[in-house]
Structure 1
Amino acid sequence: MRRSILLGAAGILAMTSHHAWAASHAAQDEPACACSGSRAEAAADITFRKIYSAEWSWRQTQLADDEDSAGSKISAELPDVSPEAQQARLTKWESVAKALDAIDRSALSPENQINYDVYKAQIDVLINQQKFKDYQRPLTSDTSFWGNLAGTARKSFADEQDYRNYIAQLGDMPRYFDQQIANMRAGLTRGFTPPKITLQGRDDTVSSVIDIDKPEDSVFYKPFETMPGSIPDADKTELREAAARAIRQSVIPAHKKLLAFLRDEYIPNAQPSISAADLPDGKAYYRAKIREFTTLDLTPEQIHQIGVDQVAEIHAEMLKTMKDAGFTGTLPEFLQFLRTDPQFYAKTPEELLKDAAWIAKEFDGVASKWIGRLPRSRFAIVPVPADIAPYYTGGRGGPGIYLVNTYDLPSRPLYSLPALTLHESAPGHAFQMPLAAENKDLPAFRQNSYISAYGEGWALYCEWLGQEMGIYKTPYQRFGMLSYQMWRAARLVVDTGIHSMGWSREQAQQYLHDNTALADHEIKTEVDRYIAWPGQALSYYLGEMAIRQDRAKAEKALGPKFNIRAFHDAVLELGSVPLPVLNEHIDRFIASGGVGPYPDEE
């Protein structure tokens, strides 16, 4: 999951804050040709491009940098997140929606009709996030606005200006934190917080910033440990001194104030219920989140039943694979065996990291057989930072990075590592997202936005595809893949159960315990994630189902003409899109005879 590597509480869109990058790329959207006989279409294209280019450039100024921000530049400031600024954003996006409604979609070029559908979905989500005031709960069970800022320290700093801009950000933290605290207090007043149970111990991520001996020990000082050789030594010294001063005078005091607020006010009085239905206008809020994360118009009841049906199908496959492994007991006994036998667990963090690297290289060996256009970008494999590891998922991936959680090694089974790696690294998140960013045929708002149903659906499809690619060498590894498939199918049951059917936290944990091979520690962190982040867990399996259904349709229609590389390229060339847009694109792929976007690479 990209997750947050995805933008935590903001949900569907990993909207970036690379101001200069966005401004430069807005210019790439040239007006359509106003040729004779196509003036109406050209005029509509021009109007549409002006709308999205201006809004996208403006959107970048509204968001804080984090480690997932695209582009290479570091912003010089943190955004204004005051109620007044939030209202201004709502007004802006509502005006954009009105302008979009005034465009005759049928008058747009075929390419811009797709762009229109993707862009309008983005704007609709942004409006809903503002209307429901998502900014009043800028944290989930394992992500937060302060954690996102710490992630900026893991970005690459290119030049002296990046460092000066970053120091300015550090100095602006007290103002930014004060605004976030005010928003959280407003949410607290109306009962709009993450559930109290999911916040237990989360203040540790704040205290870890404070509990240091000197500024140089801070995570925020990391960029200054190794600086580009192009910066003169005297300037390096000056910048390091300024960074230490900003950490001492601004960063630590801001975190101290936040810590007191969390411990004394926010966590003790947070929402006692775990259900989104009990939030203000909760039923409508959950339906909006279903639409946001799945891009589909499905009811909680429909999704719940899909989950129940898929769990039953996968259960049958798991039993067969258990027999293939030579195990003669029951499924619960097999799950207990997998959770407890030392042969399935790394003895050191380094062993886990090296195994993940080996699996990633195994995919490299077969990549060109399955996908035609490969991204230029590469990724690092690094451990999840210690301060967030106890509450973090097993791994997350995104542009340039595959995070592997080495905390509590008995909760990180090696038999699941191949599936996790395919999902989070290549050909999953650390592959798909850079491929979209490198596709210069897409407008910037498609290159650098993330829709969970598509992105998580692709990553989960990659786990399933590992069977055909030969990544799973043993029945245990294949069972690990099936357990992960079961985990995502079970999420459909658990998420809807929690947020619309009155399920308890213990009931959700027990359901995952009985149906997956997940370790108990991971089950607890996962359930808390679903509780604190309504709807996000629904995107994975529904997205994978859409891709697998599209593939089956293409295979049946094209017969011997079907080319798996061409199909995957057709899926990946889109960037991140709503599932109905993907379905229509594959219909066009079939109609074209199954010719991919890069025929010379097939």
Structure 2
Amino acid sequence: MKKTGAALAAACMLLAASALASAPARADDGAAFKALYTEEWQWRMGQRLEDDEDDVNGIRPDLPRIDAATQQARLAYWQRVLARLDAMSPATLPPAQRIDYAVYRAQIAALIENQRFREYEKPLNSDSAFWSNIAGEADKSFRTDAEYAAYVRQLNDMPRYFAEATANMRAGLARGFTPPRVTLQGRDKSVAAVAEETALEKLAYYRPFKDMPSAIPAARQAELRAAALRALRESVVPAHQRLLAFLRTEYLPNAAEALAAERLPDGKAYYQSKITEYTTTTLSAEQIHQTGLAEMAKIRAEMLEVIKQVGFQGGLPEFLQFLRSDPRFYARTPEELLMRAAYIAKRFDGKVANYFGYLPRSRFAITPVAPEIAPYYTSGRGGPGVYMVNTYNLPARPLYSLPALTLHESAPGHAFQMPIALEQKGRPAFRNAYISAYGEGWALYTERLGVEMGIYETPYEIFGMLSYQAWRASRLVVDTGVHAKGWTREQAQAYLRENTALSEHEVATEIDRYISWPGQALSYYLGQMAIMEARKKAETALGAKFDIRAFHDTVLNLGSVPLPVLHARIDAFIAEGGKSPYPKED
């Protein structure tokens, strides 16, 4: 009998916790588990769903197959993998593999649910889309002739890939499985920017060919540039032109009007599957909604204390209007915003030794969000090697929120946490997959940590942090309100507007993101709550032995894991006396 999303979630979370239980380890069980995930991972790479170890820098000569038959074959394959996993006893695995098992089983379960609900028929939302994800390939580091040649082949594969994506979207459209129409307004512009461009050298896809390594002979560089321009002219631009026609004449006019995920086909189970995927919990929509309301009340009380501290005469609505309208809180140029972000990042560097023992080897750049996506993009985004700051519409980018944003997206948030996870040796490749509840929970936790670290220099910056906390807590209310309680777009916007200092532009773009991306917004605050609960438990149990650096090192060393696994690891951290996972140097 096929499990529902909720039942599968319950089984997954139970195993995530039980996988860490003590039991005699059996070498044959560990070998069988390793053989299973190694086989599946190699198959996954062969499907072009992950970067192949043989593809330097992940520059592939082709794009994945995404047609319906291939997608159904993947579902059947992962179901067989899950059956083999469930035939194992995780408690008999070696200790490190028990964590691997919990992470891997949750990962396979989420992949199955995405295939079962045919998520591939909805490969876009208000925040991102399959065509923009493909465009990001041009930002990779190109060094060799082979890499450039592979990329040219990839460009020539685009018509096939776009045709399969279009067929999937058409199937989703036929059964009413699309993002809500209102959240897709204007999202065709990024396609049009390619489809209507006549100067091919201006396209982002051509960027790697503008400044090629001197190790490639000049004559060969000329050949590769000519091949790239031919691929752009004969494959890339026509593929975008066909996609643009489909979007404008068929998809966008007929996309679903209803906002709620629960109104999609098999909607209640679908939304619960998204809750499970993004929060790694078995919480219901109602439980999350009530948690959000309770947390919002706490944060509002903190906001009122700051208003009193600065001596403002008026309540929260008046203070929010003051923050949104006073020019002192806004940069006058994009460069000013970028430089302020850099200053905040360097302030963290001066505090880091007191809060972290292990530091990542990699560094990150601070760059503006690309102009073609900036109008619909978040205020910032970070990851390995980069912290992108949105310099579009400067009156929507308050400086008092920039410290919280910078901590979240750069260090010690995403541009710090992700590299540390990648630097851990000896882990299976599937452990590098990103789990939103952990990753976003950590990044949000660092915003609060900034108070302890002394990053916030004014009460207004403290309020900016609280506004960001309210922003994430309000997502628990808004996401469940829209997708399970029938809230309107206007109702959701009003809630965000009345409870945070976000600009009107950010209110609009964020709400459309939550509407078109069910469940993802829930991961942030629930993840932060899990880390804060784990820290409080460790502080209480360890007393004077508690070392904040050892705690942070333990959380980050663990890498991206389901929240039950995090809790179990901190229980072990307490039992071990609060020691760091890294050996002390003599």
TM bucket, shorter chain: over 0.9
1:57 aligns with 2:46: no
Residue equivalent to 1:419: 404
Instruction: Tell me the secondary structure at the aligned position of residue 584 of structure 2.
Output: helix
Residue equivalent to 2:445: 461
Which of 532, 535, 539 matches 1:555? 539
- RMSD over equivalenced CA pairs, Å: 1.6
Partners in 1 of 2:295 and 2:56 — Cα distance? 40
1:166 alignment partner AA: Y
Residue equivalent to 1:34: none
Partners in 2 of 1:583 and 1:388 — Cα distance? 38
Which of 550, 554, 579 matches 1:595? 579
CA contact (8 A) 1:64 1:78 kept: no
Residue equivalent to 1:185: 170
Instruction: Tell me the secondary structure at the aligned position of residue 441 of structure 1.
Output: coil
1:263 aligns with 2:248: yes
Residue equivalent to 2:378: 393
1:576 aligns with 2:539: no
Partners in 2 of 1:65 and 1:166 — Cα distance? 16
Rate the CA distance shift 1:539–1:227 in 2: closer, same or farther, 3 A: same
2:307 alignment partner AA: M
Residue equivalent to 2:461: 477
Which of 301, 320, 336 matches 1:335? 320
1:561 alignment partner AA: K
1:137 aligns with 2:129: no
Rate the CA distance shift 1:70–1:534 in 2: closer, same or farther, 3 A: farther
2:480 alignment partner AA: T
Residue equivalent to 1:509: 493
Partners in 2 of 1:592 and 1:306 — Cα distance? 32
CA contact (8 A) 2:56 2:147 kept: no
- 1:11-160 equivalence runs, <5 A: 41-63=26-48, 72-160=57-145
Residue equivalent to 1:538: 522
CA contact (8 A) 2:60 2:150 kept: yes
Q: CA deviation at 1:213?
A: 2.9
Instruction: Tell me the secondary structure at the aligned position of residue 382 of structure 2.
Output: strand
Residue equivalent to 1:20: none
CA contact (8 A) 2:125 2:513 kept: yes
Q: CA deviation at 1:104?
A: 1.6
How many residues of Structure 1 are paired with residues of Structure 2 in the alignment?
562
1:445 alignment partner AA: F
Which of 365, 379, 392 matches 2:350? 365
Stretch moving more, 47-56 or 173-182: 47-56
What is the percentage of aligned positions where both structures have the same residue?
Answer: 62
- 1:280-295 equivalence runs, <5 A: 280-295=265-280
Q: CA deviation at 1:598?
A: 1.2
1:453 alignment partner AA: A
Q: CA deviation at 1:326?
A: 2.3
Residue equivalent to 1:228: 213
Q: CA deviation at 1:358?
A: 1.1
Q: CA deviation at 1:63?
A: 4.1
1:496 alignment partner AA: T
Q: CA deviation at 1:99?
A: 1.0
1:555 alignment partner AA: E
Partners in 1 of 2:166 and 2:107 — Cα distance? 27
1:53 alignment partner AA: T
Residue equivalent to 2:3: none
CA contact (8 A) 1:142 1:529 kept: yes
Q: CA deviation at 1:71?
A: 6.6
CA contact (8 A) 1:489 1:541 kept: yes
Rate the CA distance shift 1:121–1:64 in 2: closer, same or farther, 3 A: closer
1:552 alignment partner AA: K
1:450 alignment partner AA: Y
Q: CA deviation at 1:58?
A: 2.1
1:428 aligns with 2:406: no
1:172 aligns with 2:157: yes
Residue equivalent to 1:17: none
Q: Where do 4+ consecutive residues of structure 1 move more than 6 Å?
A: none
Which of 494, 508, 515 matches 2:478? 494
Q: CA deviation at 1:515?
A: 0.3
1:521 alignment partner AA: H
Q: CA deviation at 1:543?
A: 0.2
Instruction: Tell me the secondary structure at the aligned position of residue 58 of structure 2.
Output: coil
Q: CA deviation at 1:323?
A: 1.6
Cα deviation digits, residues 204-228 of structure 1 (max 9, x gap): 0100112323211111000111112
Q: CA deviation at 1:601?
A: 6.4
1:529 aligns with 2:513: yes
Q: CA deviation at 1:62?
A: 3.0
Q: CA deviation at 1:95?
A: 1.0
Rate the CA distance shift 1:493–1:137 in 2: closer, same or farther, 3 A: same
1:213 aligns with 2:203: no
Partners in 1 of 2:48 and 2:272 — Cα distance? 25
Partners in 2 of 1:165 and 1:78 — Cα distance? 11
Which of 422, 428, 434 matches 1:450? 434
CA contact (8 A) 2:272 2:284 kept: yes
Partners in 2 of 1:401 and 1:184 — Cα distance? 32
2:90 alignment partner AA: R
Residue equivalent to 1:13: none
Rate the CA distance shift 1:516–1:70 in 2: closer, same or farther, 3 A: farther
Partners in 1 of 2:274 and 2:242 — Cα distance? 31
Partners in 1 of 2:106 and 2:529 — Cα distance? 20
Rate the CA distance shift 1:379–1:70 in 2: closer, same or farther, 3 A: farther
Cα deviation digits, residues 537-591 of structure 1 (max 9, x gap): 0000000000000000000100000000000011001110000000000000000
Cα deviation digits, residues 24-75 of structure 1 (max 9, x gap): xxxxxxxxxxxxxx8x711000010011112122223334689xx9972311
1:326 aligns with 2:311: yes
Partners in 1 of 2:498 and 2:491 — Cα distance? 11
Residue equivalent to 1:22: none
Instruction: Tell me the secondary structure at the aligned position of residue 72 of structure 1.
Output: helix
Partners in 1 of 2:47 and 2:367 — Cα distance? 29
1:257 alignment partner AA: R
Can you give the 5+ residue segments of structure 2 that lack an aligned partner in the other structure?
A: 1-23
Can you give the 5+ residue segments of structure 1 that lack an aligned partner in the other structure?
A: 1-37
CA contact (8 A) 1:397 1:403 kept: yes
Partners in 2 of 1:152 and 1:64 — Cα distance? 14
Instruction: Tell me the secondary structure at the aligned position of residue 573 of structure 1.
Output: helix
1:172 alignment partner AA: D
CA contact (8 A) 1:383 1:404 kept: yes
Partners in 2 of 1:64 and 1:556 — Cα distance? 43
Cα deviation digits, residues 451-484 of structure 1 (max 9, x gap): 0000000000011100011110000001000000
Q: CA deviation at 1:536?
A: 0.4
